[in-house]
Amino acid sequence: MEQVLNDSGWRGSQEGWLEAAYESLLESGVDSVKILALAKRLNLSRTSFYWFFKDRDELLNALLGKWREKNTGNLIKQSGAYAETVVEAMLNVFDCWLDKSIFDSQFEFAVRSWALQSDEILAEVQKADQARISAITEMFEKFGYDAVSADVRARTIYLVQIGYITMQAKEDVALRMKRIPTYVEIYTGKKPEQRELDRFFARHGYVPK
């Protein structure tokens, strides 16, 4: 992380300004992502911002890029991750819904809220939706599902999860884990083997009771 120091003190870092913008977006929406407000948040001068970004639009583009890389990039990556069975493949996708380091649901909600105010951002969200659905569809096709079945299953999985996010549904980990085997069976038509579930639970540090 590059930090800048000159005679007048710390200028901060590009990542620091971007993180402050991310936090403001999540807390109060895109209208709160203003240079002066971020400077106060970071206890830096307003002019420090211009060491790292040309203007607010460049910062917002970087913020959108962060969302695109994390949420869309990782969901596509998880959809294509190695799996011996379609159940394992499905559980790889489910990692996104449980691990914030892979897929940030709060960030997703904030960007979708932003899209309500901007046709340009709406187009970005719609592009991301299509890329994500296509990746999950390809996952099913790889395991022998026909094109229509793969498409409908992918849409069902994805739209249910986006529904969770946009409704800001709250579900504790134990309840979600209890429901996951049934979700997997409904989505794939295959009942998960206990060993598949055990590996999934273990990587999320969950011990069934």
By mean pLDDT, which of 45-49, 110-114, 126-130 is the weakest?
Answer: 45-49
At 83 the pLDDT is 98
Query: What pLDDT sits at residue 10?
Result: 58
Reported as a single tens digit per residue, the pLDDT across 5-57 is 443 445 789 999 999 999 999 999 999 999 999 999 999 999 999 999 999 99
pLDDT grade for 169, boundaries at 50, 70 and 90: confident
Cα 72 from chain centroid (whole Å): 6
Q: Are 102 and 74 in contact (CB under 8 A)?
A: yes
pLDDT in tens, 192-206: 999 999 999 999 999
The pLDDT score that the predictor gives to residue 4 is 47
Single-letter code of the amino acid located at 165: I
Neighbouring C-alpha atoms within 13 Å toward the C-beta of 81: 17
Per-residue pLDDT averaged across 131-136, rounded? Answer: 98
Give the percent of the chain with pLDDT over 90. Answer: 91
Place of tokens 């106060």: 40
61-65, 112-116, 169-173, 185-189: least confident range: 169-173
CATH 1.10.10 for domain 1-53: yes
Mean pLDDT (the chain, rounded): 94
What pLDDT shows up at residue 34? 97
